[in-house]
Chain A
Amino acid sequence: MKSKKAWAAAGAASLAVALAACGGSSYSSGSSNNGNGNGGATASKVFTYDTYTQVMIDGWDPATEYSNGIIAMSNMYETLTRYNPVTRTVDPLLATSWTHSSNGLTWTFQLRHNVYFHTGRLMTAKAAAAAIMRTKKLNGGASYIWGAVKSISTPSEYTMVFHLSEAAPLDLEASADYSAYIYDTQAAGPGGNLTKWLNAPHDAGTGPYTLQTWNNGQEFEVILKAFPKYWGGWKGQHYTKVVYRVVPQDTTAAQLLRSGQVNFVEQLSPTLWKSLQGVSGIKLASSPSWQNLLAQLNSQALSEPIRQAISYGTDYQGIIAALSGAASPSSGIVPAGLFGHFSDLPNYSYDPAKAAKLLNSAGYGPGKKPLNLTLTYLAGDSNEQVVATLMKSSLAKLNINLQVQPLAWATQWAKGKSTSPSARQDIFLEYWWPDYADPFSWFTNLLATEKQPYFNLSYYSNATLDSQINQVESLVATNRSAASALYKTMQDEILQQAPIVFLYNTDYQYAMTNNFSGFSVNPAYPNVIFAYNLTPKS
């Protein structure tokens, strides 16, 4: 599952780029090149990514990873295609070209030649197919993206033919940030247990970096080193090591950035971020993302009028003002920049009078019975804390007592998935972002009927919506305008029934040292830095 919360939370995800070479300022940025002295060998160029929470919390299996780990995995593993936010289509990566039949049921991919796994084996069509089928079989993470794949045939060494049970935008799905990695299924040897081998840990990817050390639960948690036989080659200046450093406090992370001990800070509180403006040696980047903050309302415990009342009773503008720059208004469930976004939807605005009327019709509200609700959010996330506090305050005016509970991700999620409904929360704050550049992820994960709660933590069940969800992705592959219209209809319905309050869209606020170039934001891979694409400056 995506613990988007887990890592989107908290203040300081700092990318600590420890450039041991040039650039580090002040007393303790470590020794420079002079220390080494053995003729000819250049010092390691190290990129340190500073995050605020443990990186590899979901294990090391690229098939089932659904959490923070992608910040490291995206440097060790690659996908067939990669999304390009500028052209809004996918670029070739491990696949060099692809075609599909007119009915969308057959897709043919040509793979790149002479790509080697870190295990030494050649990546062939058979190897890639084995990886995808295994991922699908394990049914973890975002493996639903391969849901339409019936089988894969490999007519030649580098050709993969996908046979689908229904049309699907496979090229887009193959660029997903989860469950789309191509890895060596033979890595554990004949009869070996691949999951165990991977969790040792080892990596079986094709990417530019490979695992050097894993210090579980410690400060310098993951260290990657360059893979010499990477198919992209190592011409020019590249980082030779990538370090993931865990720094729980964002004030500390900001200070580490100022002193050059970290190179990239993933997320800081807006104030801290702004305070770094104009500081020499530091560069700021702000960009819209595909991440939004949602409040999932327990639709089994709360009736529709109450849910609508909560939607009217939330001060959206106030929240955005308080977060000064980290948030922008949302329209419907799909963020701007994605197919399926519409700015003319019947969104809610802050209207306490309407909210009071709706509550009164249910016997609650000002002057009537008080309503006691619980809200859970991710402990340590200063933005979520502000949101929770503001919601508590605005709902208090409607005679709703909101009890606010900060919890660690695993605890919050366990509570939401409780088998006994009385143990569950009324409001679940959560970030979400898509698995691939498409609205489908929101609907299938958050709103489709679930027998046992998983991510649908509004416990929402709507048969009409379910059948729409089943149709829409095949429409995307065959009739885009029909798909677009269907997504609009679905969003209208969701807004009307209000199982989710759409609080805001996140704007990334990144801070980094300016001793490297090549950085760009790719919202399809949230908070992922492809270190290979960076050029350290000397």
Chain B
Amino acid sequence: MTDSVVAQPVQPAVPAGTPGGRVSRREVTWRALKANPLLAVGGTLVLLIVLAAIFAPLIVPFPGDAGAATHPFSVLKAPSGAHLFGTDQVGRDILSRVLYGTRVSPVIAIIVLAIACLIGVPLGVAAGFLGGWVDEVIMRVTDVFLAFPPLLLALALAAVLPASLTSLTIAIAAVWWPWYVRLIRGQAASVAGRPYVEACRALGVSRLRIIFLHILPNSITPLLVQVSLDVGGVILTASALSFLGLGAQDPVPDWGLMIAEGQSYFTPDWWLVTFPGLAILVTAFAFNLLGDGLRDLLDPKRSLIS
């Protein structure tokens, strides 16, 4: 899913030639944004996608086509003025369905990642903070799940559950949570080892306070970065499973499903496959750009020259 980058030596973010060597946080953020085209482009694209998802019913030419409506007398029409992306094998407007698709995969991604966090954060905190045998057990179980390449276990799960969006979401969530356990465990362990935390414990501060006041706040940034990097990955996995017939079922306007259905008409009626595929590519690309940009910006361990 995401590539991990080894921790980098810290470099101070002070622009050369600044008097006194201190600048406001806002200055730094603005300069970082300007120097970070990834974040700008990615953020804009993601914003557009989110807007498309929210306003789909208003902007789409044929909203009914994203549901059960069919038009058997205008099937497989090539892209034209009336149908910018053409029509599919039962006459539905592909542009409308592609736009409505922004409500499908990204939403699945959000739900999956929310579940992954809900499971991963508590387990990670427990493992990293409590240590000992709790840590061992949790990490071994996590290792077992991480031993499956992500798509594989999701595929096996989705294959045995009745094909639907719900099964798809469950299957992918079941595969994604271990990464978050690892991530949070690392954070928790590193915070737990710091001298001021030991001091707190010595003073009798309760563990819960330490978790909520110190560990969790420290984890938010890497969590945010990881989530934004993962959205693209989940979208690709979800569309792959729908392509295999294991997820969304007709008439849900899922991009992977649209490609699977459009395959049989492919080479002559290329528009059934091309546009949904472009949608997947652009969406995953946008979220990956955003994630990369956020990581560059927020992760203090990253060198700003990269």
A and B touch in the complex (CB under 8 A): yes
Question: Taking the complex as formed, is B114 at the interface, i.e. its CB lies under 8 A from any CB of chain A?
Answer: no
Per the bound structure, the CA–CA distance linking A319 and B251 in Å amounts to: 17
With beta carbons under 8 angstroms apart, the residue of B70, B263, B264 that contacts A393 is B70
Per the bound structure, the CA–CA distance linking A212 and B185 in Å amounts to: 61
User: What are some 17 contacts across the A-B interface (CB < 8 A)?
Assistant: A249-B263, A251-B267, A271-B265, A271-B269, A272-B264, A275-B268, A319-B72, A322-B91, A382-B265, A385-B89, A386-B75, A386-B90, A389-B250, A392-B68, A392-B251, A393-B68, A394-B70
Question: Taking the complex as formed, is A368 at the interface, i.e. its CB lies under 8 A from any CB of chain B?
Answer: no
Q: How far is the CB of A508 from the nearest CB of chain B, in Å?
A: 17
8 A Cβ contacts from B102-143 to A: none
Per the bound structure, the CA–CA distance linking A481 and B4 in Å amounts to: 81
8 A Cβ contacts from A294-339 to B: 315, 317-319, 321-322, 324
Chain A residue contacts of B72, Cβ below 8 A: 315, 317-319, 321-322, 390
With beta carbons under 8 angstroms apart, the residue of B91, B245, B250, B264 that contacts A404 is B250
| Complex contact B264–A390 (CB within 8 A) | no
Chain A residue contacts of B266, Cβ below 8 A: 251, 272
A387 to B, closest residue via Cβ: B90
Task: Tally B residues with Cβ within 8 Å of A.
Answer: 22
Q: Taking each of B245, B249, B263, which has the highest tally of chain A beta carbons within 10 Å of its own beta carbon?
A: B263
Question: Taking the complex as formed, is A274 at the interface, i.e. its CB lies under 8 A from any CB of chain B?
Answer: yes
Per the bound structure, the CA–CA distance linking A274 and B89 in Å amounts to: 15
Question: Taking the complex as formed, is A148 at the interface, i.e. its CB lies under 8 A from any CB of chain B?
Answer: no
| Complex contact A275–B267 (CB within 8 A) | yes
B72 to A, closest residue via Cβ: A318
Q: How far is the CB of B73 from the nearest CB of chain A, in Å?
A: 5
Question: Taking the complex as formed, is B76 at the interface, i.e. its CB lies under 8 A from any CB of chain A?
Answer: yes
Question: Taking the complex as formed, is A282 at the interface, i.e. its CB lies under 8 A from any CB of chain B?
Answer: no
| Complex contact B267–A393 (CB within 8 A) | no
Question: Taking the complex as formed, is A11 at the interface, i.e. its CB lies under 8 A from any CB of chain B?
Answer: yes
8 A Cβ contacts from A261-301 to B: 269, 271-272, 274-275
Per the bound structure, the CA–CA distance linking A12 and B265 in Å amounts to: 11
Question: Taking the complex as formed, is B278 at the interface, i.e. its CB lies under 8 A from any CB of chain A?
Answer: no
8 A Cβ contacts from A4-18 to B: 11-12
Question: Taking the complex as formed, is A379 at the interface, i.e. its CB lies under 8 A from any CB of chain B?
Answer: yes
| Complex contact A269–B73 (CB within 8 A) | no
Q: Can you name 18 extra interface pairs (CB under 8 A) apart from A393-B90, A394-B70?
A: A12-B264, A251-B267, A254-B267, A269-B264, A272-B267, A272-B268, A274-B268, A321-B72, A322-B90, A382-B264, A382-B265, A385-B89, A385-B261, A388-B250, A389-B70, A390-B72, A392-B250, A404-B249
Question: Taking the complex as formed, is A426 at the interface, i.e. its CB lies under 8 A from any CB of chain B?
Answer: no
Contacts A322-B89, A324-B75, A385-B250 given; indicate if A390 touches B267 (C-beta within 8 A). Answer: no
Question: Taking the complex as formed, is A255 at the interface, i.e. its CB lies under 8 A from any CB of chain B?
Answer: yes
Chain A contact residues: helix, strand, loop or mixed: helix
Chain A residue contacts of B249, Cβ below 8 A: 404
Contacts A392-B68, A406-B245 given; indicate if A386 touches B268 (C-beta within 8 A). Answer: no
| Complex contact A269–B265 (CB within 8 A) | yes
Interface string of A366-382 (1 = CB under 8 A from B): 00000000000001001
Q: How far is the CB of A255 from the nearest CB of chain B, in Å?
A: 7
Chain A residue contacts of B251, Cβ below 8 A: 389, 392-393
Interface string of B54-98 (1 = CB under 8 A from A): 000000000000001110110110000000000001110000000
- Which residues of B come within 8 Å of A, CB atoms? 68-70, 72-73, 75-76, 89-91, 245, 249-251, 261, 263-269
Per the bound structure, the CA–CA distance linking A255 and B266 in Å amounts to: 11
Question: Taking the complex as formed, is A188 at the interface, i.e. its CB lies under 8 A from any CB of chain B?
Answer: no
| Complex contact B73–A318 (CB within 8 A) | yes
Contacts A271-B269, A406-B245 given; indicate if A250 touches B68 (C-beta within 8 A). Answer: no
Chain A residue contacts of B89, Cβ below 8 A: 322, 382, 385-386, 389
Chain A residue contacts of B73, Cβ below 8 A: 318, 321-322
Chain B residue contacts of A386, Cβ below 8 A: 75, 89-90
Contacts A322-B75, A389-B250, A393-B68 given; indicate if A11 touches B90 (C-beta within 8 A). Answer: no
Q: Total A-B pairs in contact (CB under 8 Å)?
A: 75
Q: Taking each of A250, A269, A389, A404, which has the highest tally of chain B beta carbons within 10 Å of its own beta carbon?
A: A389
Per the bound structure, the CA–CA distance linking A321 and B75 in Å amounts to: 8
Interface string of A424-467 (1 = CB under 8 A from B): 00000000000000000000000000000000000000000000
B272 to A, closest residue via Cβ: A271
B69 to A, closest residue via Cβ: A393
Per the bound structure, the CA–CA distance linking A315 and B75 in Å amounts to: 14
Q: Taking each of B70, B75, B89, B264, which has the highest tally of chain A beta carbons within 10 Å of its own beta carbon?
A: B264
Chain B residue contacts of A389, Cβ below 8 A: 70, 89-90, 250-251
Q: How far is the CB of B161 from the nearest CB of chain A, in Å?
A: 14
Interface size class for chain A? 20 to 34
Q: How far is the CB of B265 from the nearest CB of chain A, in Å?
A: 5
| Complex contact B263–A251 (CB within 8 A) | yes
Q: Taking each of A318, A324, A388, A394, which has the highest tally of chain B beta carbons within 10 Å of its own beta carbon?
A: A318
Chain B residue contacts of A318, Cβ below 8 A: 70, 72-73
Question: Taking the complex as formed, is A396 at the interface, i.e. its CB lies under 8 A from any CB of chain B?
Answer: yes
Per the bound structure, the CA–CA distance linking A392 and B90 in Å amounts to: 11
Chain A residue contacts of B69, Cβ below 8 A: 393
Contacts A269-B264, A322-B89, A386-B89 given; indicate if A396 touches B68 (C-beta within 8 A). Answer: yes
Per the bound structure, the CA–CA distance linking A388 and B72 in Å amounts to: 12
Q: How far is the CB of A240 from the nearest CB of chain B, in Å?
A: 33
Chain A residue contacts of B90, Cβ below 8 A: 322, 386, 389-390, 393
A254 to B, closest residue via Cβ: B267
Chain B residue contacts of A394, Cβ below 8 A: 70
Chain B residue contacts of A390, Cβ below 8 A: 70, 72, 90
Per the bound structure, the CA–CA distance linking A269 and B264 in Å amounts to: 6
Chain B residue contacts of A251, Cβ below 8 A: 263-264, 266-267
Q: How far is the CB of A429 from the nearest CB of chain B, in Å?
A: 14
Chain B residue contacts of A385, Cβ below 8 A: 89, 250, 261
Chain B residue contacts of A406, Cβ below 8 A: 245
| Complex contact A379–B263 (CB within 8 A) | no
Chain B residue contacts of A11, Cβ below 8 A: 264
Chain A residue contacts of B265, Cβ below 8 A: 269, 271-272, 382
With beta carbons under 8 angstroms apart, the residue of A250, A274, A379, A388 that contacts B264 is A250
Chain A residue contacts of B250, Cβ below 8 A: 385, 388-389, 392, 404
A275 to B, closest residue via Cβ: B268
Chain A residue contacts of B245, Cβ below 8 A: 379, 406
Q: Taking each of A12, A315, A385, A404, which has the highest tally of chain B beta carbons within 10 Å of its own beta carbon?
A: A385
Query: Which 8 pairs show the lowest CB-CB distances between chains A and B?
Result: A318-B72, A275-B268, A382-B264, A393-B70, A322-B72, A251-B266, A269-B264, A11-B264
Per the bound structure, the CA–CA distance linking A457 and B76 in Å amounts to: 33
Per the bound structure, the CA–CA distance linking A11 and B69 in Å amounts to: 24
Interface string of A1-32 (1 = CB under 8 A from B): 00000000001100000000000000000000
Interface string of A128-149 (1 = CB under 8 A from B): 0000000000000000000000
Q: How far is the CB of A406 from the nearest CB of chain B, in Å?
A: 7
Q: How far is the CB of B222 from the nearest CB of chain A, in Å?
A: 42
B266 to A, closest residue via Cβ: A251
Q: How far is the CB of B92 from the nearest CB of chain A, in Å?
A: 9
Per the bound structure, the CA–CA distance linking A406 and B249 in Å amounts to: 9
Q: How far is the CB of B162 from the nearest CB of chain A, in Å?
A: 9
Q: How far is the CB of A107 from the nearest CB of chain B, in Å?
A: 46
| Complex contact B268–A271 (CB within 8 A) | yes
Q: How far is the CB of A422 from the nearest CB of chain B, in Å?
A: 16
Per the bound structure, the CA–CA distance linking A192 and B245 in Å amounts to: 45
Chain A residue contacts of B75, Cβ below 8 A: 321-322, 324, 386
